[in-house]
Structure 1
């Protein structure tokens, strides 16, 4: 039986053994709560939704445990929707551009974005094998709104969640994508093991969805820039935070399988066994450096498509600072858009648009790099240990270990005030 959880539903219905070492009932700290800021000033929610008009929705699918039965589970997956102008103005295009650091992945609809300089409709993110279902869902959703022509080339991106999920079971259905679209909201964005990020692994720790934002000072235009990532990339040994070699400081707690029976998937045969108590494994992971990361950058700065391409090309700098190399089996694909209005007035043929001078872009470049790093770390901090398909366990990033490493290298600032409770991914 499939469990469908929207962004508004807590994961408290799930059994602790299914997900592994569950956290106690408490708000999950984000990077800034621990004193890790990456520089710059965040927006009020420190999320992509700080850019006016942007909405985000998730549908999370978690069910089953134990050995994989193709088509039945265990299920650890979902879909995330980013709506540049929200549901109310979903048919109105935005200027946009894309860039791929390494192309071992997929983002549909990008050819027309690069040709026209415009994005029509939402950006959807899911797992590798369910792109077609989500793409179909966007079109059928658009048909109900009489926007089938306008949204006829949907943008759907993916990362591979086959370590924890029955990825060949095709569990994401059009109705799940519809729910992500319909439940999309402004305000705080749930992070971690939610939506498309449910079954993802980042730097050999549990990863998923993360977000962050930057508010530029008035002297730089006062613009807002937000980033959302689906984090499923990276090796442990290269994992770095603010120059601290966290991966070297936290070499254990590698993915491993519980019990005496090896994973059935040929791709998972090299995953090591946990000990009899399910304790952390110190063995290297066979997928070191593999995986993918999808990054969506939004801003209200008045930028043209070629300038948005320049923003998208700065995303890899943030990934590199965290230890990413754009390795051979990684799909590192990025999309940037501006929410300035580009549609001509009714019955007019010419749109009057603004453009920020190229000599004013440096603060936005810095904001992109900073917010990308913070969103990646937020995705990991929000993710608890999860046990999924074939009893493979992926450990959450230990907060105390991270803090200890940051203090060791003198890189930890005073912690921010205690945050208000926010939606989390705890079971």
Structure 2
């Protein structure tokens, strides 16, 4: 190595060492998903059991985890990230899709939603992050589009959020524009990383560790052979209402609630009643407001649906959340976006495009698929997420698989032997 290169190499190594742990297209060791435990919610999945089973859909994550549990406010700890969902992938990012939005409860944000409601179309990606970093991610999408000459086409970015301030130093504004652009550049088809990744890194679901989850359904040929894919950013719900296929899991696993480590109480007055963590396990009573938080749900399908039909599909997400124990509580932002990947471009220079439309009498299987895949995505998000300790030493526990299986068997909802642990998946 020439001597003149040594200072540069040393500087690069130092910069890399100082960066937070950032997941772009990281390989992950797959944890058991719902179906690996024998929990199916009904229906037949696509090959990947993910939103990317809908041809053309790509997903990218950037995961930011750094800092000690009791860092200085504004400087960490960092437990957050950003996720990008591209309906037509990067190659077709400027081609609109028919889309619709529905809010079960509107205590949240989805930028660009007014134009979706007005036009019935979505242009560009859907981005998922935490509440306080919506602006940075929105601006980053425009900057990313400018590099491609698409600033007009993608001029109203669609960015959704859920609040990760239980585990993340949310007022540190740690998601930067570069992270959002990295999520877009790393998006791909294939398996999707779940749990504490991307926008779901610091999220809490039914007082267990939550995050990103996904699932899909493949309809029979007689029903059209269409695919429905769902991806959730799960950060909602109370423990006592958590239900899985009718089993009151929240009642069966009523302990392992969030608590704080160390001797100092959390500084956030919202958690003034949070108890310290016992020597083993978690708290047995809620120490934070339950039923708060939010859930963002994306539904993709290759079925030829018009915007008003996609609005009907988006509304059915509510039924899946309700079956899991969500009520659309007052302080929960429960916002859903559905899109169809059928092509809308007119041939040549013609201003008239021809599109297909599924007869309403044939739409019921899509409703059922949406409800099933929503439930499975929520459970997959929790199953993939490990226990995490974050801001002020607050600890949120992962859903224990063995106790979930025990509860399901107790109520006769699980009779088969769970599948062996899956091999490594590379998203």
Q: TM-score, normalised to structure 2's length?
A: 0.94
Task: Give the equivalent residue in structure 1 for 2:184.
Answer: 181
Aligned equivalent of 1:5, options 22, 25, 29: 22
Map residues 255-270 of structure 1 onto 2, 5 A cutoff: 255-270=258-273
CA root-mean-square deviation: 1.4
Aligned equivalent of 1:354, options 353, 356, 360: 356
Matched, 1:205 2:208: yes
Map residues 158-173 of structure 1 onto 2, 5 A cutoff: 158-173=161-176
Matched residue SS, 1:375: helix
Q: Give CA deviations for 1:66-120 in whole Å, capped at 9, x if unaligned.
A: 2242221000000000000000110000000000000000010000000000000
Q: Distance in 1 between matches of 2:314 and 2:244?
A: 21
Change in 2 beyond 3 A, CA 1:151/1:250 = same
Aligned equivalent of 1:317, options 305, 315, 319: 319
Matched, 1:87 2:94: no
Task: Give the equivalent residue in structure 1 for 2:12.
Answer: none
Matched, 1:412 2:414: yes
Give the conservation status (yes or no) of the 8 Å contact 1:55–1:85: yes
Matched residue SS, 1:59: strand
Matched residue SS, 1:307: helix
Higher fraction of helix: 2
Q: Distance in 2 between matches of 1:43 and 1:369?
A: 15
> Which of the pair has more CA radius of gyration?
2
Q: Distance in 1 between matches of 2:417 and 2:50?
A: 19
Give 1:310 deviation, angstroms: 0.2
Give the conservation status (yes or no) of the 8 Å contact 1:27–1:422: yes
Task: Give the equivalent residue in structure 2 for 1:104.
Answer: 107
Q: Distance in 1 between matches of 2:172 and 2:328?
A: 28
Task: Give the equivalent residue in structure 2 for 1:293.
Answer: 295
Q: Give CA deviations for 1:374-419 in whole Å, capped at 9, x if unaligned.
A: 0000000000000011000000000000000000000014246446
Give the conservation status (yes or no) of the 8 Å contact 2:227–2:303: yes
Q: Distance in 2 between matches of 1:341 and 1:377?
A: 32
Q: Give CA deviations for 1:276-316 in whole Å, capped at 9, x if unaligned.
A: x3531102232211110000000000000000000000000
Give 1:424 deviation, angstroms: 8.6
Task: Give the equivalent residue in structure 1 for 2:47.
Answer: 44
Change in 2 beyond 3 A, CA 1:398/1:416 = closer
Matched residue SS, 1:371: helix
Matched residue SS, 2:392: coil
Q: TM-score, normalised to structure 1's length?
A: 0.94
Q: Distance in 2 between matches of 1:422 and 1:30?
A: 13
Q: Give CA deviations for 1:349-386 in whole Å, capped at 9, x if unaligned.
A: 00010000000000000000000000000000000000
Q: Distance in 1 between matches of 2:424 and 2:75?
A: 32
Give the conservation status (yes or no) of the 8 Å contact 1:49–1:188: yes
Map residues 384-399 of structure 1 onto 2, 5 A cutoff: 384-399=386-401
Aligned equivalent of 2:223, options 220, 224, 229: 220
Task: Give the equivalent residue in structure 1 for 2:10.
Answer: none
Please say which of residues 65-74 and 208-217 is displaced more in the overlay: 65-74
Give 1:340 deviation, angstroms: 0.0
Task: Give the equivalent residue in structure 1 for 2:347.
Answer: 345
Give the gaps of 5 or more residues in structure 2.
1-17
Query: How many equivalent residue pairs?
Result: 410
Q: Distance in 2 between matches of 1:421 and 1:179?
A: 27
Q: Distance in 1 between matches of 2:119 and 2:338?
A: 14
